[in-house]
A and B are shown apart, each in its own frame.
Chain A
Amino acid sequence: MTIYESDLPGVGKKFEVELDDGRRLVIVTHNTGKREVYMKANADADGEKLFEASDRLARKIGTILEGAYFQPVQTEEVETLLAEDTFIEWYSVTEDAEIAGQSIADARIRERTGVSIVAIQRDDELVSAPPPETVLEVGDTVVVIGDRDDCAQFETLLGEDVEE
């Protein structure tokens, strides 16, 4: 998934998103807030304009694309960018996880990874701001906050292969 970003002085910014079939989606964000969306048949082709949208409409479309209203697939991991390189992520604790059965304090999650566990979803109840003695169980969904590296570290504790 490659995204090319370039500055357009006096106009705004341009993002080129490589699609799976080799086509490219080009999004021009104007300084005025207007978005223009183009499609390129390939990297070298001219852009065909698909549509343009106001700032508000573009955000709406973006939220729908993000799956805020309907998620057809239960994703393993949902990334939400909080600020520059700060993520809120959801993880399931599987049987492979080395920290399954340990308490947050014993697993030394904060020291080892840098992430903070902000909530744990267990069956139908949500434990928000879990105390350090809370034990992580198989089947829990853990909500953590941290930067990209912290989250990657945490994924290793869960026994997942980290893709880079």
Chain B
Amino acid sequence: MATETALVDVGILFTAVAVAGLLASRVDQSVIPFYIVVGILLGSNVLGELPALAGSEVGIGGVAVTVPEATIGGVDLLAAIGGLALGETDFVVVGAEIGIVLLLFFLGLEFNLERLLESRDRIGKAGTVDLAFNFGIGLVIGYLLFGGLLAAFLTAGVVYISSSAIITKSLIDLGWIANAESEPMLGTLVYEDLFIAVYLAIASVLVLGGGDAGEAAGQIAIAIGFILALLALVAFGTGFFQRVLEADSNEFVVVRALGVTVLVAGIALALGVSEAVAAFFVGMAFSSTDHVHDLERLLEPLRDAFAAIFFFWIGLVTDPGLFTLSILGMIVAAVVLTTPTKLVSGFLGGKIYDLDDRRSVRVGLGMTTRGEFSLIIASLALSGAGSGIPVETAETIYAFTVGYVLVMSVLGTSLMQYSDRLEPVAVSWLERRRVGSVRPAEE
């Protein structure tokens, strides 16, 4: 049995996440940045530091602040509060892992290859434009900031992948789902999701591999073999997956689906293959059974609970001390460079779907949000620290990504909310440019 403190810790975790979620909904924002921040605050790097802080100086972002001593009635207040700090317990780590697995499982579950092939023309064009612009700029930024190809490759993934979760939820909340702009947005997200599944498979081998070239080749062979086995399962295993879920009680459906998914993901991780990618393929295998809607309905709350632990964990292992001036500078630079690239690629995506200027601008505004997948890449970088990637570089990329996602998730959600005011400005600017330019207006 767990000790009573461990149970209290988990209780504090969920309560903190619940309060953060409440705050987020009050200010009409996505919950993700709030979960991360509450994780940072409750972690050993902030709360845990309190007892030692009395009378000392703290530097955050290069600014030094002196912390006053606080004792009330002979009780050291800081020490008392500091005692509540949460450590990176096994529960949190495994919970976060399950969060990643379920996020990708859902991606696979809702991923429909036939659908993608049906509208491959437009999705392919819009998605490729999105990829070229954002992955391209990511490579450049990553190479300039961190040096090295692997760091550039990871940064490219971080800035390229928009947040399916936040964007889809915002589309529904704002009622855009009924409008034409939802199609290029969701279509581009499907393209990104497929890309990220392949990308994670490659990135995890590169990051976790390390060592000499022969070892890396062996790792890559295992990874490719495992993924091929999973693909075979997707192609020929429908009957098996169908039978696995033939149960007349919700309990059995949930337990069996979890059993298959988490076990396959765990085996993948043990073999050095990305557990996220394995989960994606298991989701895809389940997507061709008749139980898709049941699974979505039953597992969604579970996914959200574990995803919350994942975002909390991201904050928990983030040391605010890592946000040095130079990293803050990197984050600002990335925000300034990668917001316009999404605006432009989204706009062009809208045009590929024959939308008018206003709606195309909307697509751009909507695609700027980055979120859960960028963080999954960051956690991958962290797990490879010291093997495939130098510890310092991994930690820098991690801190950079956390800060970047905090900014981009809030910024992207806000851009969507205030699009009514932004659209006319953008549209009139576009028209002025067309009149001013020699090129005939594209209609």
Contact bitstring B271-306, A, C-beta under 8 A = 1, else 0: 000000000000000000000110011001000000
Contact bitstring B99-133, A, C-beta under 8 A = 1, else 0: 00000000000111001001100000000000000
Q: CB distance A11 to B168 under 8 Å?
A: yes
7 closest Cβ contacts across the A-B interface?
A47-B178, A38-B178, A26-B178, A10-B110, A9-B190, A9-B186, A49-B175
From the candidates B112, B292, B300, name the one contacting A9 in the complex (CB within 8 A). B112
Tell me whether chain B's interface is mostly helix, strand or loop, or mixed: helix
Q: CB distance A47 to B171 under 8 Å?
A: no
Interface residues on chain B, number (Cβ under 8 Å): 26
| B residues 74-120 touching A (CB-CB < 8 Å) | 110-112, 115, 118-119
A10-B110, A10-B164, A10-B168 known; A46 and B179 CB under 8 Å?
A: yes
Nearest A residue to B292, CB-CB:
A31
Q: Which residues of A contact B297 (CB under 8 A)?
A: 32-33
Q: Which residues of B contact A46 (CB under 8 A)?
A: 175, 179
Q: CB distance A36 to B177 under 8 Å?
A: yes
Question: Does A14 count as interface, using CB distance less than 8 angstroms?
Answer: yes
Question: Does A106 count as interface, using CB distance less than 8 angstroms?
Answer: no
Question: Does B325 count as interface, using CB distance less than 8 angstroms?
Answer: no
Question: Does B189 count as interface, using CB distance less than 8 angstroms?
Answer: yes
Nearest A residue to B362, CB-CB:
A46
A11-B172, A47-B175, A49-B175 known; A31 and B293 CB under 8 Å?
A: yes
Question: Does B246 count as interface, using CB distance less than 8 angstroms?
Answer: no
CA distance A11 to B177 in the complex (A): 9
Number of A-B pairs whose CB atoms are under 8 Å? Answer: 60
Q: CB distance B183 to A38 under 8 Å?
A: no
| A residues 20-36 touching B (CB-CB < 8 Å) | 26, 28, 31-33, 36
Q: CB distance B296 to A6 under 8 Å?
A: no
Q: A87 to nearest B CB, angstroms?
A: 25
Q: Which residues of B contact A11 (CB under 8 A)?
A: 168, 171-172, 177, 182, 186
Question: Does A8 count as interface, using CB distance less than 8 angstroms?
Answer: yes
Q: CB distance B175 to A44 under 8 Å?
A: no
Contact bitstring B161-186, A, C-beta under 8 A = 1, else 0: 00010001001100101110011001
Q: A36 to nearest B CB, angstroms?
A: 7
Q: Which residues of A contact B186 (CB under 8 A)?
A: 8-11
Q: CB distance B177 to A44 under 8 Å?
A: no
Question: Does B356 count as interface, using CB distance less than 8 angstroms?
Answer: yes
Q: CB distance B110 to A36 under 8 Å?
A: no
Question: Does A7 count as interface, using CB distance less than 8 angstroms?
Answer: yes
Q: Which residues of B contact A6 (CB under 8 A)?
A: 183
CA distance A147 to B186 in the complex (A): 35
Nearest B residue to A47, CB-CB:
B178
Q: CB distance B175 to A9 under 8 Å?
A: no
Q: A125 to nearest B CB, angstroms?
A: 42
Q: Which residues of B contact A33 (CB under 8 A)?
A: 293, 297
CA distance A7 to B177 in the complex (A): 11
Q: A48 to nearest B CB, angstroms?
A: 8
Question: Does B371 count as interface, using CB distance less than 8 angstroms?
Answer: no
Question: Does B349 count as interface, using CB distance less than 8 angstroms?
Answer: no
Nearest B residue to A7, CB-CB:
B115
Q: B284 to nearest A CB, angstroms?
A: 13
Q: CB distance A10 to B178 under 8 Å?
A: no
Q: CB distance B178 to A49 under 8 Å?
A: yes
Q: CB distance A44 to B168 under 8 Å?
A: no
